[in-house]
Homo-oligomer: A and B are copies of this chain.
């Protein structure tokens, strides 16, 4: 009986996901193999294969345990809301696990269709939520949008993502304020 209701099945599944996540964070995506997971989790290799026949599924599973940042609960005053959200994103991208998952997603998506679908979903949610929030801000008279609103994600998250992954430094309050300003022309209410 190796079904989802079997507590031993659930326990080995958890041990595998934990080992996959730890290997990803310690050594990078290339370390997430059936062999290394079996060894790291102290579980037979056949068990690892039974749960996840393919390495890319294991990596996806390991990545899913790290929450990625999203724009949520937009509210007036929108300038303050955007500053808070970008500060949160900057703080998350300053953490090793989030940086590891984000850059592994971007890299593996170039060769793996399932990862690319995940990347696309992540990019779409960020862009749609931000575009909607900035549209609300414009209707409230708090913001004059500059050009195309769908470019807002690239303009506001892009510099923070570059700072965190290419420059490997934390985004300070000054950089975050410039990202907020890059969203459009803000008006004091």
What is A's interface to B at a CB cutoff of 8 Å? Answer: 26-30, 96, 99-100, 103-104, 106-112, 116, 119-120, 122-123, 126-127, 146-148, 151, 153-155, 157-163, 165-168, 171, 174-175, 177-179, 182
Contacts and interface: CB of A to CB of B under 8 A. Distances in A.
A161 to B, nearest CB: 5
B162 A108 contact: no
A161 B166 contact: yes
How many chain copies?
A: 2
A168 to B, nearest CB: 7
14 contacts: A26-B111, A28-B107, A28-B111, A29-B30, A103-B103, A104-B107, A123-B166, A146-B178, A147-B174, A151-B175, A153-B167, A157-B166, A158-B162, A161-B162
A110 B28 contact: yes
A170 to B, nearest CB: 12
B123 A110 contact: no
Contacts of A29: 30, 107
B167 A162 contact: no
Given A107-B104, A110-B103, A111-B27, A159 B167 contact: no
Contact of A175 (B28, B100, B154, B166): B154
Nearest to A96: B110
Contacts of A100: 110
Contacts of A26: 111
B162 A153 contact: yes
Contacts of A96: 110
A126 B159 CA distance: 14
